[in-house]
């Protein structure tokens, strides 16, 4: 069983703190880093002290995914530790290339989002800086690998849906599962719109992939889930059931809105479901609505009509 040392790291985001985890067995391993702000670095430094090690002794950093609340301190950490970074190639690509953002904007145009809001999204993206990657010290993980320690190992699980290269890590000896943002105690993770790397412009079926992953881990024998945000989860089957229920209700709500209001685009539906979203949350709102519409369209419950550059949805039949 691997010894776990959790550290709550502050973020400037509404989500509150993010959890970094140190595995206290050689090679000392850090799961997620926290965001690139001074307070987060200080929290990490102080946070490892009670474990009897210092940050420069970290030998391996594994990232659940590239979102900046989890990855932002990579650059800073690689400046003074010799740690090797382990990450899924899809997440690495998002950190070193601007293509995913360009594709996102193409998607946003098709949702019918007004131009002034699109301009805000672009401005917000410009303020959003990914950390510099630590050169050669990067190992790509696709899922299915084992990370070995003196006292055990972690199995690597590729669980897309919130992020296309999202990884989770499982210590079978202790029943401990590090879920990143894949499973959270109080929040339903957003099925963020992403694109097929082999087919530019084609959306990945993020919500279907996510639900598949939930069913997969529901069958596992996990004792404790250590999430990317919030407290450790002891009854994870209940959290999964709540999440599945949320998505069923959301799909029903969207169908009901279309029945009552007639044909709508993704932006209009997102405004009816989530009122008053601003900043990056606009994109997350669009993502969630689109993810549901993709499943509803697949099940032939809604039909799609293109007008100008925008796609409109209505109840089929």
- Binding piece for Zn ion, criterion CB under 5 A, among 66-74, 143-151, 236-244, 303-311: 66-74
DSSP E strands in the chain: the ranges are 4-9, 18-23, 29-31, 60-62, 84-87, 138-140, 146-149, 152-158, 167-171, 176-180, 224-227, 264-265, 302-307, 310-315
Q: Does 32 bind Zn ion (CB under 5 A)?
A: no
What are the angstrom distances between the C-alpha of 186 and each of 183, 236, 238, 273, 316? 9, 12, 12, 19, 34
- Binding piece for Zn ion, criterion CB under 5 A, among 28-36, 68-76, 142-150, 257-265: 68-76
Which residue's CB is nearer to Zn ion, number 67 or number 247? 67
- Minimum Å distance from CB 315 to Zn ion? 32
* Residue of 87, 92, 74, 178 lying closest to 141 (CA atoms): 87
d(CA 183, CA 246): 13
Which residue's CB is nearer to Zn ion, number 64 or number 84? 64
Q: Does 69 bind Zn ion (CB under 5 A)?
A: yes
- Binding piece for Zn ion, criterion CB under 5 A, among 28-36, 79-87, 177-185, 299-307: 177-185
Q: Does 181 bind Zn ion (CB under 5 A)?
A: yes
Which residue's CB is nearer to Zn ion, number 166 or number 264? 166
Report how many residues bind Zn ion under the rule CB under 5 A.
Answer: 4
Give the 3-state secondary structure percentages of the chain, helix then strand then coil, rounded to 5: 40, 20, 40
Which residue's CB is nearer to Zn ion, number 161 or number 228? 228
- Binding piece for Zn ion, criterion CB under 5 A, among 49-57, 147-155, 175-183, 275-283: 175-183
What are the angstrom distances between the C-alpha of 96 and each of 41, 42, 100, 181, 268? 22, 26, 10, 21, 33
Which residue's CB is nearer to Zn ion, number 84 or number 164? 164
- Binding piece for Zn ion, criterion CB under 5 A, among 20-28, 78-86, 174-182, 234-242: 174-182
Which residue's CB is nearer to Zn ion, number 112 or number 189? 189
- Binding piece for Zn ion, criterion CB under 5 A, among 118-126, 170-178, 180-188, 196-204: 180-188
Map residues 260-279 to x or -, x wherever contact with Zn ion holds by CB under 5 A. Answer: --------------------
d(CA 133, CA 280): 24
Structure tokens at 158: 């590729």
Q: Does 36 bind Zn ion (CB under 5 A)?
A: no
Whether residue 32 contacts residue 64, with contact meaning beta carbons closer than 8 Å, is answered with yes
Q: Does 104 bind Zn ion (CB under 5 A)?
A: no
Which residue's CB is nearer to Zn ion, number 71 or number 84? 71
Q: Site for Zn ion (CB under 5 A): which residue of 34, 63, 67, 266? A: 67
Structure tokens at 217: 């881990």
Which residue's CB is nearer to Zn ion, number 47 or number 112? 47
End-to-end CA distance of the chain: 55
What are the angstrom distances between the C-alpha of 303 and each of 109, 233, 265, 292? 19, 39, 11, 13
Q: Binders of Zn ion among 207-246, rule CB under 5 A?
A: 228
DSSP state, residue 200: T
Which residue's CB is nearer to Zn ion, number 229 or number 264? 229
d(CA 266, CA 293): 8
Residues forming the site for Zn ion (CB under 5 A) = 67, 69, 181, 228
């Amino acid at each position: 069983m691997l010894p776990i040392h959790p550290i709550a790291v502050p973020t400037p985001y509404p989500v509150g703190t993010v959890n970094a985890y140190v595995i206290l067995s050689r090679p000392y391993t850090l799961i997620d880093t926290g965001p690139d702000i001074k307070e987060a670095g200080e929290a990490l430094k102080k946070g490892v002290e009670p474990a009897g090690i210092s940050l420069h002794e970290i030998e391996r950093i594994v990232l659940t995914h590239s979102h900046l609340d989890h990855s932002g301190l990579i650059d800073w950490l690689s400046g003074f530790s010799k740690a090797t970074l382990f990450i899924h190639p899809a997440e690495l690509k998002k950190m070193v290339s601007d293509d995913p953002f360009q594709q996102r904007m193409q998607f946003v145009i098709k949702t019918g989002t007004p131009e002034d809001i699109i301009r805000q999204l672009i401005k917000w993206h410009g303020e959003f800086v990914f950390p510099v990657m630590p050169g050669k010290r990067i190992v790509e993980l696709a899922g299915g690998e084992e990370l070995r320690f003196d006292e055990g190992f972690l199995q690597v699980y590729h669980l897309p849906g919130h992020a296309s290269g999202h990884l989770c890590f499982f210590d079978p000896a202790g029943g401990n599962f590090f879920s990143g943002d894949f499973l959270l105690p109080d929040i339903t993770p957003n099925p963020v719109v992403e694109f097929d790397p082999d087919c530019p412009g084609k959306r990945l079926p993020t919500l279907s992939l996510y639900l598949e992953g939930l069913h997969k881990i529901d069958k596992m024998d996990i004792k404790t889930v250590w999430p990317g945000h919030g407290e450790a989860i002891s009854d994870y089957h209940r959290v999964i059931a709540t999440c599945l229920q949320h998505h069923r209700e959301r799909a029903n709500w969207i169908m009901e809105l279309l029945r009552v209001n007639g044909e709508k685009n993704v932006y209009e539906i997102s405004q009816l479901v989530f009122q008053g979203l601003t900043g990056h949350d606009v994109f997350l709102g669009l993502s969630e609505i689109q993810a549901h519409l993709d499943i509803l369209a697949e099940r032939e419950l809604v039909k799609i009509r293109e007008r100008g550059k925008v796609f409109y949805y209505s109840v089929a039949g």
